[in-house]
Amino acid sequence: MAERQVSADARVVEVSRSELPLACPRDDRSLWSLHPRVYLPLGPAVEVTCPYCSTIYRLED
């Protein structure tokens, strides 16, 4: 995998296959920071970025 520059304020979340399908925001987020729920497709990719909050989700398998 190519190395990618990630900003200092970016949030990176490791997820497992048991947590799929993947949706953002997750249940552990504070109410004030919520945006509309979107389902993020991982497919063959092992990393996906939320278009609303820029959280990066990585599959840990």
pLDDT for residue 1 = 38
| Closest to 36 (Cα-Cα) out of 20, 48, 52 | 52
Of 31 and 1, which is predicted with more confidence?
31
Other Cβ atoms closer than 10 A to 57? 22
Residues in the chain: 61
26-41: pLDDT as tens digits: 887 777 768 999 999 9
Question: Where residue 59 falls among pLDDT bands split at 50, 70, 90?
Answer: very high
Higher pLDDT, 2 or 18: 18
